[in-house]
Structure 1
């Protein structure tokens, strides 16, 4: 036993294997406790050179010295073993003398581990081979098999040749079609030839090695099931490589119909082409074609819609008797969101309506024409007998979401156990201002009330934090952890600081230094926001250590960060009764949060505050009666394609405020030192807004640069704060509107959706300056900061909610900027997506009954040709000029 342990520690794997070969099962089992203890020892210093050397030998010895299949499987796939494992050959050698059934059990157990466990395929396959068991078809095994087969460069043969030799080919190929996210692995090989999976499987079906019918069914089933884009590309290519005969295509008509309706565009296009071929050969009945059209004509891909209308026209031309069934199907496109699709459908119906004798079909077509845009509906009234367009527009009523109702911050939990549960959840996600403030106040209250009970309740929460039992192996101390990043990373990091202070893990000197001087460095635009947030958190931690406060003065009343003045006065009264000392940063934050917008309420609270006879009461009274001072001066600055805002000093944020809060009122000029920015964090942005809940314009100015990156630099997730910006208080000025403008042009859909939400919230609160937002968008599109195609998606989404007047109010000021370039020749070509913007504007104008003259629109509408840009310009010009023409 001692020889084995010595060889394992020294990392002499070959010697370990030799020693194990000469041991009986009882002797091996007797060694396992020591191997288990060694594993625990190595885990404590896993990355040292001796540990790395010992791990492979330990991996092999531990597997050989256990008798239970579950235990061996767990040992083989353990996370701490995967960095320096024994080779698969060594492991198979030490396990090879076991019973086949036992080996099969181990093989299936390790194959059931997730792919992230990185169990070597060679190990799984070797155990399967030795045991003679059924091959596993788990995700880990199939992924490993695909990689093994695909690495032909290591052996000089081809994918096709290696597949031919695989004894489990049929079972594993069947599993291939049922394994998620396999497409990216298959795509690593060639796209054609004997080294490609697609052509190899096709060749094997031709040879009869694989059942062709089963393979075709499996391939179609996989496409129907959906998955990643890579999966769709690979399995579609595989289906095409199989080269289905006409009989096979006809046998799977139902599958093609389902794919044409719901599959991704590239797959749907293939299904549509197969169905079109069947239809033109008379092998797809009219009722099936109607079913297909009902699904395809309302897809968003205009290429598919146009192809479907062309197909309907060809079928009707070949067989006039189908007109009665197919023309109503084509008329479904009258309700399509794209006016060009509507026009194509109308032309198709007009061309073939003469072949329809049935009165009820003609009535159906005329009724469907009511969905057309006004210009086409007038045409349909003449050609199809549709009802004429009303001379007076129907009164329009805007549909906006209700203005959001503020959420009141619940009192801190009375139970320390409940508080601990909430703190544990916040350590995972701390962007909820109300939950964070409730928990922070709870920690202060319970630390003052019963520190020992709080520590006991927090034990399960802090036990999982590395700093609660910090080891020198980390290379930095707990104090460094909270200061070395030049500030707290996010709000959860702030909670960790308070918890570590409660546990005595942070030095009092570190806390005092941070309270006096702060930890935030750099000169980026939003470092003042982080400084103010951190000043309060460090002060909370310091007071918990030195002079626990009974509760926080600055806990907001509402989730936006707003604090009601009566509540703050009552808290100051309670502080006076308890003889508690007011903390500077806590009181400063309370002042910045207290509501001053309602004069009568503020003045009544000011009288109560003045009557307290304390310095804080006097300061609060003066702050309340002063009200909001004049907003700081600001000016725009062009930085490349961006429009940014510089702001002047906010005098009232200087004066008596603590040093950590004064930077909030300092001027924001230039672009700041972005090279040393450590403070931009998803979890922090809502807390920045809660710092100044009645001054969102000031916060927006400091966030503007990063929010512009969602459109200019294609960053993801930064616009998530926009709905909260819209729900915050104070002026919604040029910075707020520019933030929304950049969000509407963001690269990623979730950011654009957040911007749409913000737009609708501002509109519902009657705080949207549509003229300003539209003009900003026009300039940003013109400069290249916002791509029109992205803006189209945003405004179309906003309009679809029922906010057509709001969207028109924005576009009526954005479009003249872009159309003006066309009129003056300012751009070589129209901005890509401008036609779609005109289409959205036209729909909004038609629905709202807008009547006005839009600068430069007439010139665009009078251009020659029938391009989409000109067609949509004419449509908008017609909609806006109906009353004028009359």
Structure 2
């Protein structure tokens, strides 16, 4: 006699206690019958009862009748259960009736299936981990975010605390989840004293990693709740200094408070701190830096030469208040500066308004004439390193397994793929057990593909390949994944090539066309057809071609620092792709790091507006090495760089004075001609936007003198001809006079 009608009736009534009694009375055959009927009944209920008050009874029925941890976890995580109110307590009681080992195995599998902290089974995963004592999966960010999103009320006695708390500072998304939360900082600060040092260390490390104000707000609150004493904060003094230039305003304010509470900083550190604060866009932080500088001057003994750079920076500020306060300090304490300090202070004379400049020049010497700066000390640009041959040591079969999930550089990816094809063509395969990926959606990670290929080649465990869409990954990354896809499909069909076409011959990603021709001739002799993506990549590496950029992606983060190696002849195309994948709200934000900038500078092909915008972002953040590398190759277009820097000023909050200072720094680091051209481009773009950037014109005048620039600049001539007598017009006329005054010795 069928037992299913009684079980179905109990599910329909929603009485979990009655349901458990019915299920307890079943024998093995009855449980098997119920397990078979449950999925069909779920489809019926999904279609006819959308309010889903049947989720908890179905969960309980599945737990008590479905055999195997994997099948049980799959049942609990079915997407048909999403969006419903569910009660996990009956499910936990059902698990408690069975084997503890099965419960722990299900707990880990359910936790591993979490992709978002809002998944319908997130609460169940956490409670199963707690009740089973199972070890939570390592490095699982959605699980950590789900844990924190449930509140901190149970933190002190939470069995998951020991495993998940260390990930509180590392997991992506914790800061955004707790942006408006005030309970977690209080609960964490109230933990026993043994955790205090670890919490402070984790908090400072997380602040140093950076992020938006929303991402870091909860960590700033935690730091405030910990209220570290001076002896606790002292080891982090250098870290607090590092937060001052670019951390969000509240984090920078926290760092200032901590540094001021410590014993007095040495002059060099104090100068670094003040200069960082003077570059901030927030008036409150600028004033804080000035007050700090005034206190150091008043209370410090002896020479003030070490503070001269900070005072010079204050006098060079665009707003009047910092300049006036800094000049007043120097005039009051001028007797405490020696020759070196006075010389550094004189650098500010051309940047000051006429009245302040005259007062300062009378006290320290020099001339308060706009544009009169010391001579530029020649500095060589970085040496251009030619591309070297791309060679690598062969891998043993077992190393294909060992290294399959550790491929942090594009060179290691190329080595692994080439060696895999070589070993596969020889039938020399590893023997270790490899499991194919078990994920939903496209395979966006390289480890998905390496596991799938090895599992198929070594054990015949082929799974249908899941190539992601162009929405999930950037186009250049998709080309790389298509190469893995082609290898997977060719190996599965038994038609894998004996070697790859696209393996580069140089360490910048280029492929010698002659070598490619030889490889293709080898294919012809063997009767082998090229794999489409491998051939496409080979042609991109051997000569000009292009992949059109697209908008932002929503899957794994783009591997931008690899892109120049995949398009080594198309610097501008790579820059366009990079800009299409970032969305910036402030000049201090960027996903484009130094490694990407260095690789972009090394790439071939002409630059253009996109390359200039990328390099302008590095200039704005005072990260000059990629820009200097490009200048050393003679391929930095100064005018475009200036227009890109203007975009940072107009759209991302960089002040015009800061932009001028960055270009001056670029000139002093070995690129004065590029800085002059950039100043002209910056002036053009800012005046087109209706600005009157006096500091930029002053920088242009200095750069013109350093480089000996001559010849009329139409924009400068047009501005100089305007009526009026403000500082901007006077300085522009001075620049025009210098550019057009071509007598001997001028």
**Aligned residue number for residue 88 of structure 1:** 88
- The residue correspondences of 1:166-181 to structure 2 (distance < 5 A) are 179-180=168-169
Deviation at 1:462, TM superposition (A): 2.3
Deviation at 1:285, TM superposition (A): 11
**Aligned residue number for residue 60 of structure 1:** 60
Instruction: Identify which of 275, 298, 306 aligns with 1:298.
Output: 275
Q: Distance in 1 between matches of 2:612 and 2:664?
A: 15
**Aligned residue number for residue 764 of structure 1:** 632
- Cα pair 1:433 1:687 within 8 Å, conserved: no
**Aligned residue number for residue 440 of structure 2:** none
**Aligned residue number for residue 448 of structure 2:** none
> Would the alpha carbon gap of residues 236 and 354 (structure 1) be closer, same or farther in structure 2, given more than 3 Å must change?
same
**What CA deviation, in whole Å up to 9, does each residue of 1:356-393 have, x standing for no partner?**
59x66566753653664766799756413689999996
- Cα pair 1:63 1:95 within 8 Å, conserved: yes
TM-score, scaled relative to structure 1: 0.51
Q: Distance in 1 between matches of 2:200 and 2:541?
A: 60
- Cα pair 2:11 2:57 within 8 Å, conserved: yes
**What CA deviation, in whole Å up to 9, does each residue of 1:436-495 have, x standing for no partner?**
48845973x666x54x44698997642657998678xx9xx999999xx99994232233
**What CA deviation, in whole Å up to 9, does each residue of 1:508-550 have, x standing for no partner?**
xxxxxxxxxxxxxxxxxxxxxxxxxxxxxxxxxxxx47xx6x6
Q: Does 1:830 align with 2:691?
A: yes
Deviation at 1:297, TM superposition (A): 0.5
Q: Distance in 2 between matches of 1:219 and 1:495?
A: 42
Deviation at 1:830, TM superposition (A): 0.9
**What CA deviation, in whole Å up to 9, does each residue of 1:180-226 have, x standing for no partner?**
4655445457xxxxxx869x989xx9xxxx99x99x99999997665
Deviation at 1:805, TM superposition (A): 1.9
What SS class does the counterpart of residue 298 from structure 1 fall into? helix
**What CA deviation, in whole Å up to 9, does each residue of 1:607-653 have, x standing for no partner?**
xxxxxxxxxxxxxxxxxxxxxxxxxxxxxxxxxxxxxxxxxxxxxx9
Q: Does 1:499 align with 2:488?
A: yes
> Would the alpha carbon gap of residues 38 and 727 (structure 1) be closer, same or farther in structure 2, given more than 3 Å must change?
farther
Deviation at 1:402, TM superposition (A): 2.7
- Cα pair 2:395 2:419 within 8 Å, conserved: no
Q: Does 1:369 align with 2:345?
A: yes
Q: Distance in 1 between matches of 2:128 and 2:412?
A: 56
Instruction: Identify which of 367, 384, 389 aligns with 1:403.
Output: 384
Deviation at 1:267, TM superposition (A): 2.9
> Would the alpha carbon gap of residues 325 and 253 (structure 1) be closer, same or farther in structure 2, given more than 3 Å must change?
farther
- Cα pair 1:406 1:560 within 8 Å, conserved: yes
What SS class does the counterpart of residue 91 from structure 1 fall into? helix
Ranges in structure 2 where 5+ consecutive residues have no aligned partner? 134-139, 435-450
- Cα pair 1:256 1:275 within 8 Å, conserved: no
**Aligned residue number for residue 310 of structure 2:** 333
Q: Distance in 2 between matches of 1:293 and 1:349?
A: 15
- The residue correspondences of 1:274-423 to structure 2 (distance < 5 A) are 293-294=270-271, 296-299=273-276, 300-301=279-280, 303=283, 306-308=286-288, 310-311=290-291, 322=299, 324=301, 331-334=308-311, 336=313, 339-340=316-317, 347-348=324-325, 350-352=327-329, 356=333, 365-366=341-342, 369=345, 372=348, 382-384=362-364, 394=375, 396-410=377-391, 413=394
Q: Distance in 2 between matches of 1:592 and 1:97?
A: 62
- The residue correspondences of 1:140-155 to structure 2 (distance < 5 A) are none
- Cα pair 1:11 1:56 within 8 Å, conserved: no
Q: Distance in 2 between matches of 1:256 and 1:417?
A: 44
Q: Does 1:807 align with 2:674?
A: yes
- The residue correspondences of 1:160-239 to structure 2 (distance < 5 A) are 179-180=168-169, 184-188=176-180, 226-227=206-207, 229-230=213-214, 232-233=216-217
Deviates more, 1:302-311 or 1:267-276: 267-276
- Cα pair 1:792 1:840 within 8 Å, conserved: no
- Cα pair 2:680 2:700 within 8 Å, conserved: no
Deviation at 1:866, TM superposition (A): 7.5
Deviates more, 1:756-765 or 1:78-87: 78-87
**Aligned residue number for residue 684 of structure 2:** 817
Q: Distance in 2 between matches of 1:140 and 1:411?
A: 38
**What CA deviation, in whole Å up to 9, does each residue of 1:315-367 have, x standing for no partner?**
69xxx97475796675341353982279977754653556559x665667536
**Aligned residue number for residue 615 of structure 1:** none
**Aligned residue number for residue 410 of structure 2:** 432
- The residue correspondences of 1:664-743 to structure 2 (distance < 5 A) are 696=569, 709=580, 726-729=601-604, 732=606, 736-743=607-614
> Would the alpha carbon gap of residues 364 and 415 (structure 1) be closer, same or farther in structure 2, given more than 3 Å must change?
closer
**Aligned residue number for residue 447 of structure 2:** none
- Cα pair 1:336 1:342 within 8 Å, conserved: no
Q: State which structure, 1 or 2, has the greater radius of gyration over its C-alpha atoms.
A: 1
Deviation at 1:298, TM superposition (A): 2.3
- Cα pair 2:630 2:636 within 8 Å, conserved: yes
**Aligned residue number for residue 533 of structure 1:** none
> Would the alpha carbon gap of residues 366 and 556 (structure 1) be closer, same or farther in structure 2, given more than 3 Å must change?
closer
Deviation at 1:727, TM superposition (A): 3.6
- The residue correspondences of 1:442-521 to structure 2 (distance < 5 A) are 443=421, 450=426, 452-453=427-428, 461-462=452-453, 489-504=478-493
- The residue correspondences of 1:14-33 to structure 2 (distance < 5 A) are 17-18=17-18, 20=20
Q: Distance in 2 between matches of 1:455 and 1:435?
A: 18
- The residue correspondences of 1:460-609 to structure 2 (distance < 5 A) are 461-462=452-453, 489-504=478-493, 544=495, 556-560=504-508, 562-564=510-512, 567=515
What SS class does the counterpart of residue 317 from structure 2 fall into? helix
Q: Distance in 1 between matches of 2:486 and 2:493?
A: 10
What SS class does the counterpart of residue 230 from structure 1 fall into? helix
Deviation at 1:307, TM superposition (A): 0.9
> Would the alpha carbon gap of residues 463 and 700 (structure 1) be closer, same or farther in structure 2, given more than 3 Å must change?
closer
**What CA deviation, in whole Å up to 9, does each residue of 1:243-267 have, x standing for no partner?**
x9xxx99999989999974464533
Deviation at 1:556, TM superposition (A): 4.6
What SS class does the counterpart of residue 384 from structure 2 fall into? coil
- Cα pair 1:259 1:268 within 8 Å, conserved: no
TM-score, scaled relative to structure 2: 0.58
- Cα pair 2:641 2:678 within 8 Å, conserved: yes
- Cα pair 1:712 1:786 within 8 Å, conserved: no
- Cα pair 2:35 2:65 within 8 Å, conserved: no
Deviation at 1:87, TM superposition (A): 2.2
Q: Distance in 1 between matches of 2:255 and 2:401?
A: 58
Q: Distance in 1 between matches of 2:249 and 2:203?
A: 11
**What CA deviation, in whole Å up to 9, does each residue of 1:801-860 have, x standing for no partner?**
9243253243154145347xx4xxx65x218xx566557656756776767765544776
> Would the alpha carbon gap of residues 92 and 418 (structure 1) be closer, same or farther in structure 2, given more than 3 Å must change?
closer
Q: Distance in 2 between matches of 1:128 and 1:414?
A: 43
- Cα pair 1:554 1:563 within 8 Å, conserved: yes
Q: Distance in 2 between matches of 1:755 and 1:348?
A: 30
**What CA deviation, in whole Å up to 9, does each residue of 1:708-760 have, x standing for no partner?**
75799999979998765654456x3xxx3233134346xxx689989977654
Q: Distance in 1 between matches of 2:364 and 2:453?
A: 75
Q: Distance in 2 between matches of 1:765 and 1:588?
A: 28
Q: Distance in 1 between matches of 2:344 and 2:467?
A: 72
Q: Distance in 2 between matches of 1:201 and 1:142?
A: 18
Q: Distance in 2 between matches of 1:139 and 1:495?
A: 27
Q: Distance in 2 between matches of 1:38 and 1:569?
A: 60
